[in-house]
Amino acid sequence: MKNELEPLAFENLEAVFSPGNQSIKYIKSLHNKKYRDLHQCFLVEGQKMVSEAMSSNFGIEMLVFSESYTGTLPNREEVLQGTRYLKVTEQIFKSLSDTQSPQGVLAVVKPKDWSYQQIIELPKGFLIILDGIKDPGNLGTIVRTVDAAGGDGVIMINECVDPYNPKAVRATMGSVFRVPIFQVNDTEALLKESLVKTNWHIAASGLQGDDVFIWQADYPKIALVMGSESHGVSQQVMDMSHSVVQIPMAGDAESLNASVAAGILTYEISRKRRNMDN
């Protein structure tokens, strides 16, 4: 089997020239969270991101190409079984795209059903809990950071932005296909039942916490809580956390961007944990 897919040469490529086509309407609807939830699918756009999706074990429902697309994609038969292939006009593709400069390829992807229980029962681990994060770019960047740092997953509580929002997906730069992401509606059950009972140390990020560069991260399993851009970690979560940590600020800025703060805290905790293991 060829290692690369040349989609515009496929015999089963469906040519679509009408913006009123039902498949086009369906793809457009996936820009809306309501329909992503309804259909249990999300959009991925661009050469790199579509290639990442096809190299993962996520299901690919549909691949869509503009008439001018000339790229190649990974050819994985087990991923592409049942996939539809559409060729559309440049104008239609632009109407489907969420970017300023479309690359002529997008995919309709089915989220993977990660094992939540398997993650929390790890003997050692690092999780990030996102408490009310609203900005899709911040959420996606945090997922990417967790991937880069070797973290085990991201848990979202208190009405975070949808991780499959197109801007969030794009900000992950492909990490959305490698990092388990979970939405949990019952915060108290998550913290008191799931995490505490499986020996996770819950450390919340806060302005009045311990200096993270001094704080001892000598716990086998740590769940770091990052709060929203405007309100920080909720009081409910603060009250149930074991520790509160902060990044010392030498200048006059009152706070850092949520994804920047998450990156610093994640890598400092990861550094301490590596030193502990050595």
Per-residue pLDDT tens digits for 97-121:
998 889 999 999 999 989 989 999 9
pLDDT the model gives residue 100: 87
pLDDT the model gives residue 273: 81
pLDDT the model gives residue 236: 93
131 burial class (0-12, 13-18, 19+ CB within 10 angstroms)? buried
95 burial class (0-12, 13-18, 19+ CB within 10 angstroms)? middle
- Above pLDDT 90, what percent of the chain? 72
Would strands 105-110 and 125-131 be described as parallel, antiparallel, or unpaired? unpaired
What does the pLDDT average to over 197-220? Answer: 91
> Which pTM value belongs to this model?
0.91
Superfamily, domain 4-110: Ribosomal protein L30/S12 (3.30.1330.30)
Amino acid at 246: Q
Instruction: Evaluate whether 4-110 and 116-277 have a shared fold.
Output: no
On average, the pLDDT of the chain sits at 90
User: Domains of the chain: which residue ranges?
Assistant: 4-110, 116-277
pLDDT the model gives residue 108: 97
CATH code for residues 116-277: 3.40.1280.10
What does the pLDDT average to over 5-23? Answer: 78
Tens-place pLDDT, residues 57-80: 899 999 999 999 988 887 666 566
Tens-place pLDDT, residues 220-246: 999 999 998 788 999 999 999 999 999
What does the pLDDT average to over 160-177? Answer: 96
